[in-house]
């Protein structure tokens, strides 16, 4: 039987080093292979440079994207401590993982962002794929609660059909799930969610 990749996906740390330590401990306890942080790592220009250190000390690999509360400068600084997958893709355990961030208070995607997603999906030849976005897609159950999603992201998911879309941003809907076609949509946050693929 094929070994599955075990992931701890979280977001919205907002510079909280104690939360980072708790998540790193959970990553150890759950014996995850990879940690994915889906944005809002810091609070805009209130940088905690060592926010990823607990994961490194625990021997856990971290990939991340910036969220609206992360400045471009913070994104570049954090990229020295962990792997940014904004506008890139990586391969872990045979799974292709790409991300689209939205730093500097950007709260929607545009055609340029769609192009980033499209380019990375064309490059990934993996059988299974994950897309990570700080924002969530349009027309999901979350909208019934008043949290409207992004149309460009929805279009990208419909077209490229990743196995999993990890999104965050809205703290109140952490843990909720939905689907877009064959794509499992998982809303993550400060508690972290364990995923296997």
The CATH number of the domain covering residues in 6-196 = 3.60.21.10
DSSP 127: S
> How far, rounded to the nearest angstrom, does the alpha carbon of residue 184 sit from its chain's CA centroid?
14
Q: What is the pLDDT of residue 105?
A: 73
d(CA 63, CA 55): 11
Q: What is the pLDDT of residue 78?
A: 81
Yes or no: say if 141 and 160 are a contact pair by the CB < 8 Å rule. Answer: no
d(CA 68, CA 177): 22
Apex 139 CA angle, 145 and 143, nearest 5: 10
User: In the chain, which residues have pLDDT < 50?
Assistant: none
Q: Provide the Cα torsion 66, 195, 120, 152; round to 10°.
A: -70
Copy the structure tokens of residue 34.
């990879």
What phi and psi, each to the nearest 5 degrees, are found at residue 79?
-65, -10
d(CA 99, CA 104): 16
What phi and psi, each to the nearest 5 degrees, are found at residue 52?
-90, -5
How, if at all, do strands 177-180 and 183-187 pair? antiparallel
d(CA 116, CA 98): 10
What phi and psi, each to the nearest 5 degrees, are found at residue 107?
-120, 15
Q: What is the pLDDT of residue 130?
A: 99
């Amino acid at each position: 039987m094929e070994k599955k990749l075990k992931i701890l996906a979280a977001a919205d740390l907002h510079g909280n080093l104690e939360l980072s330590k708790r998540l790193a401990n959970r990553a150890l306890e759950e014996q995850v292979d990879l940690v994915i942080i889906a944005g809002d790592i810091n609070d805009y220009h209130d940088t905690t440079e060592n926010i990823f250190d607990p994961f490194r000390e625990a021997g856990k690999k971290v990939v991340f994207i910036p969220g609206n509360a992360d400045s471009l400068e913070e994104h570049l600084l954090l990229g020295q401590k962990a792997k940014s997958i904004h506008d890139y893709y990586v391969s872990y355990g045979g799974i292709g993982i790409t991300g689209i961030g939205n730093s500097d208070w950007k709260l929607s995607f545009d055609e340029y962002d769609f192009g980033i997603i499209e380019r990375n999906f064309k490059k990934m030849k993996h059988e299974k794929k994950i897309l990570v976005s700080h924002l969530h897609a349009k027309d999901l159950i979350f909208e019934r609660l008043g949290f409207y999603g992004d149309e460009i992201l929805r279009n990208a998911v419909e077209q490229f059909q990743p196995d999993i879309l990890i999104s965050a941003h809205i703290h109140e809907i952490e843990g909720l799930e939905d689907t877009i076609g064959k794509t499992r949509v998982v809303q993550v946050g400060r508690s972290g969610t364990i995923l296997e693929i």
